[in-house]
Chain A
Protein backbone atom coordinates (compact mmCIF):
# COMPACT_ATOMS: atom_id res chain seq x y z
CA UNK A 1 0.00 0.00 0.00
CA UNK A 2 2.81 2.37 0.88
CA UNK A 3 4.48 1.61 -2.43
CA UNK A 4 1.28 2.68 -4.08
CA UNK A 5 1.28 6.09 -2.43
CA UNK A 6 5.04 6.53 -2.66
CA UNK A 7 4.84 7.28 -6.36
CA UNK A 8 5.34 11.08 -6.58
CA UNK A 9 2.98 11.57 -9.54
CA UNK A 10 0.23 9.60 -7.89
CA UNK A 11 0.89 11.47 -4.67
CA UNK A 12 0.65 14.83 -6.42
CA UNK A 13 -2.68 13.83 -7.93
CA UNK A 14 -3.93 12.68 -4.54
CA UNK A 15 -2.71 15.87 -2.88
CA UNK A 16 -4.52 17.97 -5.50
CA UNK A 17 -7.71 16.06 -4.69
CA UNK A 18 -7.36 16.37 -0.90
CA UNK A 19 -6.16 19.98 -0.69
CA UNK A 20 -9.42 21.78 -1.58
CA UNK A 21 -11.37 19.61 0.86
CA UNK A 22 -8.84 20.19 3.65
CA UNK A 23 -8.87 23.94 2.96
CA UNK A 24 -12.64 24.06 3.06
CA UNK A 25 -12.81 22.05 6.30
CA UNK A 26 -10.20 24.36 7.84
CA UNK A 27 -12.14 27.49 6.94
CA UNK A 28 -15.52 26.16 8.04
CA UNK A 29 -14.25 24.69 11.33
CA UNK A 30 -12.21 27.79 12.20
CA UNK A 31 -15.15 30.09 11.46
CA UNK A 32 -17.61 27.91 13.35
CA UNK A 33 -15.27 26.96 16.22
CA UNK A 34 -13.91 30.46 16.80
CA UNK A 35 -17.39 31.99 16.90
CA UNK A 36 -18.67 29.17 19.09
CA UNK A 37 -15.67 29.21 21.40
CA UNK A 38 -15.02 32.93 21.63
CA UNK A 39 -18.57 34.28 21.64
CA UNK A 40 -21.32 31.79 22.46
CA UNK A 41 -19.68 29.29 24.83
CA UNK A 42 -20.00 30.12 28.53
CA UNK A 43 -17.20 31.74 30.52
CA UNK A 44 -15.60 29.64 33.21
CA UNK A 45 -16.92 30.30 36.72
CA UNK A 46 -13.38 30.65 38.07
CA UNK A 47 -11.28 31.79 35.15
CA UNK A 48 -13.83 34.02 33.41
CA UNK A 49 -13.20 34.78 29.77
CA UNK A 50 -9.56 33.70 29.86
CA UNK A 51 -10.74 30.10 29.54
CA UNK A 52 -11.38 30.84 25.85
CA UNK A 53 -7.63 30.60 25.23
CA UNK A 54 -8.21 26.88 25.69
CA UNK A 55 -9.87 26.63 22.24
CA UNK A 56 -6.52 27.47 20.64
CA UNK A 57 -4.11 26.15 23.26
CA UNK A 58 -5.37 22.58 23.63
CA UNK A 59 -5.74 21.62 19.92
CA UNK A 60 -2.37 23.17 19.14
CA UNK A 61 -0.71 21.25 21.98
CA UNK A 62 -2.18 17.96 20.78
CA UNK A 63 -1.02 18.63 17.25
CA UNK A 64 2.48 19.56 18.38
CA UNK A 65 2.95 16.15 19.98
CA UNK A 66 1.30 14.23 17.14
CA UNK A 67 3.47 16.14 14.64
CA UNK A 68 6.52 14.63 16.24
CA UNK A 69 4.89 11.23 16.05
CA UNK A 70 4.28 11.71 12.33
CA UNK A 71 7.83 12.99 11.88
CA UNK A 72 9.23 9.86 13.52
CA UNK A 73 6.91 7.67 11.44
CA UNK A 74 8.13 9.35 8.23
CA UNK A 75 11.72 8.85 9.42
CA UNK A 76 11.07 5.15 9.98
CA UNK A 77 9.53 4.74 6.51
CA UNK A 78 12.43 6.60 5.00
CA UNK A 79 15.08 4.50 6.74
CA UNK A 80 13.43 1.14 6.17
CA UNK A 81 11.91 1.50 2.70
CA UNK A 82 14.02 4.42 1.44
CA UNK A 83 11.04 6.30 0.00
CA UNK A 84 12.14 9.85 -0.88
CA UNK A 85 8.57 10.94 -0.31
CA UNK A 86 8.88 10.03 3.38
CA UNK A 87 11.85 12.37 3.71
CA UNK A 88 9.89 15.12 1.98
CA UNK A 89 7.01 14.46 4.35
CA UNK A 90 9.25 14.67 7.41
CA UNK A 91 10.82 17.90 6.19
CA UNK A 92 7.37 19.32 5.55
CA UNK A 93 6.09 18.36 9.00
CA UNK A 94 9.05 19.60 11.08
CA UNK A 95 8.61 23.40 10.81
CA UNK A 96 4.84 23.04 11.21
CA UNK A 97 5.38 21.00 14.38
CA UNK A 98 7.87 23.55 15.67
CA UNK A 99 5.33 26.29 15.02
CA UNK A 100 2.60 24.39 16.88
CA UNK A 101 4.94 23.81 19.83
CA UNK A 102 5.85 27.50 19.89
CA UNK A 103 2.16 28.47 19.66
CA UNK A 104 1.38 26.13 22.56
CA UNK A 105 4.04 27.80 24.68
CA UNK A 106 2.93 31.33 23.71
CA UNK A 107 -0.79 30.75 24.26
CA UNK A 108 0.06 28.89 27.46
CA UNK A 109 2.10 31.85 28.69
CA UNK A 110 -0.74 34.25 27.89
CA UNK A 111 -3.16 31.96 29.73
CA UNK A 112 -0.78 31.48 32.65
CA UNK A 113 -0.43 35.20 33.38
CA UNK A 114 -4.06 35.81 34.47
CA UNK A 115 -4.66 32.36 36.02
CA UNK A 116 -1.34 31.46 37.66
CA UNK A 117 -0.03 35.02 37.96
CA UNK A 118 3.06 34.35 35.87
CA UNK A 119 3.90 33.82 32.22
CA UNK A 120 6.25 30.96 32.83
CA UNK A 121 6.86 28.39 35.54
CA UNK A 122 9.32 25.53 35.37
CA UNK A 123 6.53 23.04 35.46
CA UNK A 124 6.84 19.56 33.98
CA UNK A 125 4.44 19.99 31.09
CA UNK A 126 5.78 23.38 30.06
CA UNK A 127 9.32 22.10 30.15
CA UNK A 128 8.58 19.00 28.11
CA UNK A 129 6.77 21.10 25.48
CA UNK A 130 9.88 23.30 25.36
CA UNK A 131 12.03 20.19 24.91
CA UNK A 132 9.73 19.05 22.09
CA UNK A 133 10.29 22.44 20.45
CA UNK A 134 14.07 21.94 20.80
CA UNK A 135 13.77 18.51 19.17
CA UNK A 136 12.04 20.04 16.13
CA UNK A 137 14.73 22.73 15.96
CA UNK A 138 17.47 20.09 16.12
CA UNK A 139 15.82 18.04 13.36
CA UNK A 140 15.50 21.09 11.10
CA UNK A 141 19.10 22.16 11.79
CA UNK A 142 20.45 18.71 10.93
CA UNK A 143 18.21 18.16 7.87
CA UNK A 144 19.32 21.49 6.42
CA UNK A 145 22.89 21.38 7.71
CA UNK A 146 24.54 19.79 4.69
CA UNK A 147 25.72 21.30 1.40
CA UNK A 148 23.76 18.66 -0.49
CA UNK A 149 20.15 18.55 0.61
CA UNK A 150 19.80 14.82 0.10
CA UNK A 151 22.85 14.12 2.25
CA UNK A 152 20.99 15.39 5.34
CA UNK A 153 18.05 13.04 4.87
CA UNK A 154 19.35 9.90 6.56
CA UNK A 155 21.13 11.55 9.51
CA UNK A 156 18.00 13.61 10.19
CA UNK A 157 15.83 10.49 10.03
CA UNK A 158 18.12 8.68 12.49
CA UNK A 159 17.95 11.70 14.80
CA UNK A 160 14.16 11.75 14.60
CA UNK A 161 14.04 8.09 15.68
CA UNK A 162 16.56 8.61 18.51
CA UNK A 163 14.41 11.55 19.59
CA UNK A 164 11.29 9.41 19.48
CA UNK A 165 12.89 6.93 21.88
CA UNK A 166 14.17 9.71 24.10
CA UNK A 167 11.05 11.87 24.29
CA UNK A 168 9.24 9.59 26.76
CA UNK A 169 12.40 9.43 28.87
CA UNK A 170 12.73 13.20 28.88
CA UNK A 171 9.05 13.52 29.70
CA UNK A 172 9.37 11.08 32.56
CA UNK A 173 12.40 12.79 34.05
CA UNK A 174 10.86 16.21 33.70
CA UNK A 175 7.75 14.88 35.47
CA UNK A 176 10.00 14.20 38.42
CA UNK A 177 9.38 17.72 39.55
CA UNK A 178 6.04 18.31 41.10
CA UNK A 179 3.62 19.89 38.72
CA UNK A 180 1.56 23.04 38.90
CA UNK A 181 -0.21 22.17 35.70
CA UNK A 182 -3.68 20.71 35.97
CA UNK A 183 -3.89 17.01 35.07
CA UNK A 184 -5.37 16.00 31.74
CA UNK A 185 -9.13 16.52 31.81
CA UNK A 186 -10.22 15.19 28.43
CA UNK A 187 -8.57 11.85 27.73
CA UNK A 188 -8.66 9.96 30.99
CA UNK A 189 -10.43 6.98 32.37
CA UNK A 190 -13.85 7.71 33.79
CA UNK A 191 -14.97 9.80 30.85
CA UNK A 192 -14.79 13.40 29.85
CA UNK A 193 -14.75 15.90 32.70
CA UNK A 194 -15.57 18.97 30.69
CA UNK A 195 -19.04 20.33 30.01
CA UNK A 196 -20.58 19.76 26.58
CA UNK A 197 -20.96 23.52 26.03
CA UNK A 198 -17.18 23.77 26.04
CA UNK A 199 -16.37 20.35 24.59
CA UNK A 200 -18.09 20.83 21.23
CA UNK A 201 -16.36 24.09 20.28
CA UNK A 202 -13.09 22.52 21.43
CA UNK A 203 -13.57 19.49 19.19
CA UNK A 204 -14.56 21.73 16.27
CA UNK A 205 -11.37 23.72 16.73
CA UNK A 206 -9.44 20.49 16.96
CA UNK A 207 -10.79 19.27 13.61
CA UNK A 208 -10.10 22.70 12.16
CA UNK A 209 -6.48 22.67 13.29
CA UNK A 210 -6.10 19.08 12.05
CA UNK A 211 -7.34 20.11 8.61
CA UNK A 212 -5.08 23.17 8.76
CA UNK A 213 -2.13 20.89 9.51
CA UNK A 214 -2.97 18.60 6.58
CA UNK A 215 -3.36 21.60 4.27
CA UNK A 216 -0.02 23.15 5.20
CA UNK A 217 1.92 19.88 5.09
CA UNK A 218 0.47 18.85 1.72
CA UNK A 219 1.14 22.30 0.26
CA UNK A 220 4.74 22.15 1.46
CA UNK A 221 5.20 18.63 0.09
CA UNK A 222 3.81 19.56 -3.32
CA UNK A 223 6.10 22.59 -3.39
CA UNK A 224 9.15 20.46 -2.50
CA UNK A 225 8.23 18.00 -5.25
CA UNK A 226 7.87 20.81 -7.82
CA UNK A 227 11.21 22.27 -6.82
CA UNK A 228 12.89 18.88 -7.18
CA UNK A 229 11.27 18.38 -10.58
CA UNK A 230 12.39 21.83 -11.70
CA UNK A 231 15.99 21.32 -10.62
CA UNK A 232 16.00 17.87 -12.27
CA UNK A 233 14.78 19.25 -15.60
CA UNK A 234 17.25 22.16 -15.31
CA UNK A 235 20.04 19.65 -14.78
CA UNK A 236 19.02 17.49 -17.75
CA UNK A 237 18.62 20.57 -19.98
CA UNK A 238 22.11 21.85 -19.24
Chain B
Protein backbone atom coordinates (compact mmCIF):
# COMPACT_ATOMS: atom_id res chain seq x y z
CA UNK B 1 0.00 0.00 0.00
CA UNK B 2 2.70 2.46 0.94
CA UNK B 3 4.98 1.48 -1.88
CA UNK B 4 2.13 1.89 -4.35
CA UNK B 5 2.52 5.63 -3.98
CA UNK B 6 5.88 5.41 -5.60
CA UNK B 7 6.06 7.48 -8.76
CA UNK B 8 9.54 7.69 -10.23
CA UNK B 9 8.70 10.93 -12.05
CA UNK B 10 8.25 12.82 -8.77
CA UNK B 11 11.61 11.69 -7.46
CA UNK B 12 13.44 12.71 -10.64
CA UNK B 13 11.71 16.10 -10.63
CA UNK B 14 12.78 16.76 -7.08
CA UNK B 15 16.39 15.70 -7.79
CA UNK B 16 16.41 17.95 -10.85
CA UNK B 17 15.01 20.80 -8.76
CA UNK B 18 17.77 20.18 -6.20
CA UNK B 19 20.51 20.43 -8.85
CA UNK B 20 18.94 23.53 -10.38
CA UNK B 21 18.77 25.36 -7.05
CA UNK B 22 22.45 24.64 -6.44
CA UNK B 23 23.25 25.92 -9.94
CA UNK B 24 21.51 29.19 -9.11
CA UNK B 25 24.00 30.09 -6.41
CA UNK B 26 27.16 30.27 -8.58
CA UNK B 27 25.10 32.20 -11.14
CA UNK B 28 24.01 34.68 -8.49
CA UNK B 29 27.21 34.86 -6.42
CA UNK B 30 29.73 34.61 -9.25
CA UNK B 31 31.94 31.76 -10.41
CA UNK B 32 34.94 32.62 -8.23
CA UNK B 33 35.92 29.30 -6.51
CA UNK B 34 37.23 31.02 -3.38
CA UNK B 35 34.00 32.86 -2.71
CA UNK B 36 32.01 29.72 -3.40
CA UNK B 37 34.10 27.59 -1.06
CA UNK B 38 33.11 29.91 1.82
CA UNK B 39 29.42 29.22 1.35
CA UNK B 40 29.41 25.64 0.01
CA UNK B 41 27.66 24.12 3.01
CA UNK B 42 25.04 26.90 3.03
CA UNK B 43 24.35 26.26 -0.64
CA UNK B 44 23.93 22.53 -0.11
CA UNK B 45 21.63 23.01 2.88
CA UNK B 46 19.41 25.63 1.30
CA UNK B 47 19.14 23.46 -1.81
CA UNK B 48 18.20 20.43 0.33
CA UNK B 49 15.60 22.45 2.24
CA UNK B 50 14.00 24.02 -0.82
CA UNK B 51 14.03 20.82 -2.85
CA UNK B 52 12.36 18.80 -0.10
CA UNK B 53 9.72 21.40 0.89
CA UNK B 54 7.30 20.82 -2.01
CA UNK B 55 7.43 17.05 -1.58
CA UNK B 56 6.11 17.19 2.02
CA UNK B 57 2.69 18.11 0.65
CA UNK B 58 2.33 14.60 -0.69
CA UNK B 59 2.91 12.97 2.70
CA UNK B 60 -0.71 12.45 3.73
CA UNK B 61 -2.91 14.03 1.08
CA UNK B 62 -3.38 10.87 -1.03
CA UNK B 63 -4.28 8.70 1.95
CA UNK B 64 -6.55 11.47 3.25
CA UNK B 65 -8.46 11.89 0.00
CA UNK B 66 -8.71 8.19 -0.86
CA UNK B 67 -10.22 7.39 2.53
CA UNK B 68 -7.32 5.17 3.56
CA UNK B 69 -6.93 7.19 6.76
CA UNK B 70 -10.59 6.64 7.68
CA UNK B 71 -10.13 2.91 7.25
CA UNK B 72 -7.04 3.00 9.47
CA UNK B 73 -9.05 4.72 12.19
CA UNK B 74 -11.89 2.24 11.87
CA UNK B 75 -9.44 -0.63 12.17
CA UNK B 76 -7.98 1.10 15.25
CA UNK B 77 -4.49 1.29 13.82
CA UNK B 78 -2.41 3.73 15.89
CA UNK B 79 -2.12 6.85 13.76
CA UNK B 80 1.23 7.83 15.22
CA UNK B 81 2.68 4.56 13.99
CA UNK B 82 1.21 5.24 10.57
CA UNK B 83 2.71 8.74 10.62
CA UNK B 84 6.14 7.42 11.55
CA UNK B 85 6.07 4.74 8.84
CA UNK B 86 4.91 7.34 6.33
CA UNK B 87 7.79 9.67 7.29
CA UNK B 88 10.35 6.91 6.98
CA UNK B 89 9.05 5.75 3.61
CA UNK B 90 8.96 9.34 2.39
CA UNK B 91 12.53 9.80 3.58
CA UNK B 92 13.65 6.69 1.68
CA UNK B 93 11.77 7.59 -1.49
CA UNK B 94 12.41 11.34 -1.67
CA UNK B 95 15.28 12.02 0.72
CA UNK B 96 17.76 9.30 -0.21
CA UNK B 97 17.76 10.19 -3.96
CA UNK B 98 18.70 13.76 -3.00
CA UNK B 99 21.59 12.40 -0.96
CA UNK B 100 22.54 10.07 -3.78
CA UNK B 101 22.90 13.08 -6.07
CA UNK B 102 25.39 14.73 -3.69
CA UNK B 103 28.45 13.52 -5.68
CA UNK B 104 27.30 15.72 -8.55
CA UNK B 105 27.28 18.67 -6.17
CA UNK B 106 30.70 17.63 -4.91
CA UNK B 107 31.90 17.93 -8.50
CA UNK B 108 30.28 21.36 -8.92
CA UNK B 109 31.70 22.83 -5.73
CA UNK B 110 35.05 20.99 -5.55
CA UNK B 111 34.14 19.10 -2.36
CA UNK B 112 36.79 16.54 -1.47
CA UNK B 113 35.60 12.99 -2.05
CA UNK B 114 36.99 11.89 1.30
CA UNK B 115 34.61 14.16 3.23
CA UNK B 116 31.62 13.19 1.12
CA UNK B 117 30.34 10.17 3.16
CA UNK B 118 30.38 12.19 6.37
CA UNK B 119 28.65 15.10 4.66
CA UNK B 120 26.02 12.73 3.28
CA UNK B 121 25.43 11.30 6.78
CA UNK B 122 24.98 14.78 8.28
CA UNK B 123 22.56 15.78 5.55
CA UNK B 124 20.67 12.50 5.97
CA UNK B 125 20.16 13.20 9.71
CA UNK B 126 19.03 16.74 8.98
CA UNK B 127 16.74 15.60 6.19
CA UNK B 128 15.09 13.08 8.50
CA UNK B 129 14.45 15.91 10.96
CA UNK B 130 13.06 18.10 8.18
CA UNK B 131 10.75 15.30 7.06
CA UNK B 132 9.48 14.94 10.65
CA UNK B 133 8.72 18.67 10.67
CA UNK B 134 7.15 18.31 7.25
CA UNK B 135 4.81 15.66 8.66
CA UNK B 136 3.56 18.09 11.32
CA UNK B 137 2.97 20.85 8.78
CA UNK B 138 1.44 18.56 6.15
CA UNK B 139 -1.03 17.07 8.63
CA UNK B 140 -1.98 20.47 10.04
CA UNK B 141 -2.72 21.93 6.62
CA UNK B 142 -4.81 18.99 5.33
CA UNK B 143 -7.92 20.51 3.79
CA UNK B 144 -6.70 24.10 4.03
CA UNK B 145 -6.74 26.65 1.23
CA UNK B 146 -3.36 27.05 -0.54
CA UNK B 147 -1.99 24.34 1.70
CA UNK B 148 1.45 24.10 0.05
CA UNK B 149 2.53 27.70 0.68
CA UNK B 150 0.92 27.49 4.13
CA UNK B 151 2.90 24.41 5.12
CA UNK B 152 6.11 26.05 3.85
CA UNK B 153 5.41 29.03 6.11
CA UNK B 154 4.91 26.68 9.05
CA UNK B 155 8.00 24.56 8.41
CA UNK B 156 10.60 27.24 7.76
CA UNK B 157 10.73 28.92 11.20
CA UNK B 158 10.70 25.50 12.87
CA UNK B 159 13.55 24.38 10.62
CA UNK B 160 15.96 27.17 11.64
CA UNK B 161 17.79 25.12 14.32
CA UNK B 162 18.31 22.20 11.91
CA UNK B 163 19.70 24.55 9.28
CA UNK B 164 21.98 26.28 11.81
CA UNK B 165 23.55 23.11 13.20
CA UNK B 166 23.49 21.33 9.84
CA UNK B 167 25.46 24.06 8.10
CA UNK B 168 27.83 24.46 11.06
CA UNK B 169 28.57 20.73 11.12
CA UNK B 170 28.98 20.44 7.34
CA UNK B 171 31.18 23.52 7.11
CA UNK B 172 33.35 22.10 9.89
CA UNK B 173 33.66 18.83 7.95
CA UNK B 174 34.58 20.71 4.77
CA UNK B 175 37.16 22.81 6.60
CA UNK B 176 38.57 19.76 8.35
CA UNK B 177 37.65 21.22 11.76
CA UNK B 178 36.05 19.51 14.75
CA UNK B 179 32.42 18.81 13.93
CA UNK B 180 31.42 16.58 16.86
CA UNK B 181 29.56 19.17 18.94
CA UNK B 182 27.44 20.48 16.07
CA UNK B 183 26.68 16.99 14.87
CA UNK B 184 25.58 15.88 18.36
CA UNK B 185 23.27 18.86 18.65
CA UNK B 186 21.81 18.14 15.22
CA UNK B 187 21.26 14.53 16.26
CA UNK B 188 19.67 15.62 19.53
CA UNK B 189 17.26 17.90 17.66
CA UNK B 190 16.24 15.10 15.34
CA UNK B 191 15.73 12.67 18.22
CA UNK B 192 13.54 15.23 19.98
CA UNK B 193 11.54 15.63 16.77
CA UNK B 194 11.21 11.87 16.55
CA UNK B 195 9.21 12.05 19.78
CA UNK B 196 7.34 15.30 19.16
CA UNK B 197 6.42 14.88 15.51
CA UNK B 198 4.39 11.64 15.58
CA UNK B 199 2.38 12.94 18.55
CA UNK B 200 1.55 16.27 16.92
CA UNK B 201 0.90 14.59 13.56
CA UNK B 202 -1.42 12.10 15.22
CA UNK B 203 -3.58 14.84 16.75
CA UNK B 204 -3.61 16.83 13.53
CA UNK B 205 -4.59 13.84 11.39
CA UNK B 206 -7.40 12.90 13.76
CA UNK B 207 -8.66 16.49 13.70
CA UNK B 208 -8.56 16.57 9.91
CA UNK B 209 -10.61 13.39 9.67
CA UNK B 210 -13.11 14.23 12.39
CA UNK B 211 -13.80 17.71 11.01
CA UNK B 212 -13.52 16.94 7.32
Contact = CB atoms under 8 A, between A and B. Distances in A.
Interface of A: 79, 131, 134-135, 137-138, 141-142, 145-147, 150-152, 154-155, 158-159, 161-163, 165-166, 169-170, 172-174, 176
Given A145-B141, A155-B140, A155-B207, A131 B160 contact: yes
Interface stretch (B39-47, B86-94, B149-157): B149-157
Chain B contact surface mostly: helix
Interface residues of B, number: 29
Contacts of A152: 144
Contact of A166 (B145, B158, B207, B211): B158
B26 interface: no
B204 A147 contact: no
Contacts of B143: 146, 151
A173 B158 contact: no
Interface in B148-205: 150, 153-154, 156-158, 160-161, 164-165, 168, 185, 189, 192, 196, 200, 203-204
Contacts, number: 79
Contacts of A163: 157-158
B136 A173 contact: no
A173 B154 CA distance: 18
B157 A145 contact: no
Given A154-B204, A161-B200, A166-B161, 10 more contacts: A142-B150, A147-B145, A150-B211, A155-B144, A158-B140, A158-B203, A162-B196, A163-B157, A163-B158, A174-B164
A162 B153 contact: no
Contacts of A174: 160, 164
A162 B158 contact: yes
B160 A151 contact: no
B207 A170 contact: no
Given A131-B157, A135-B157, A151-B211, A176 B164 contact: yes
Given A147-B145, A154-B211, A170 B157 contact: yes
A137 B153 contact: yes
Contacts of B76: none
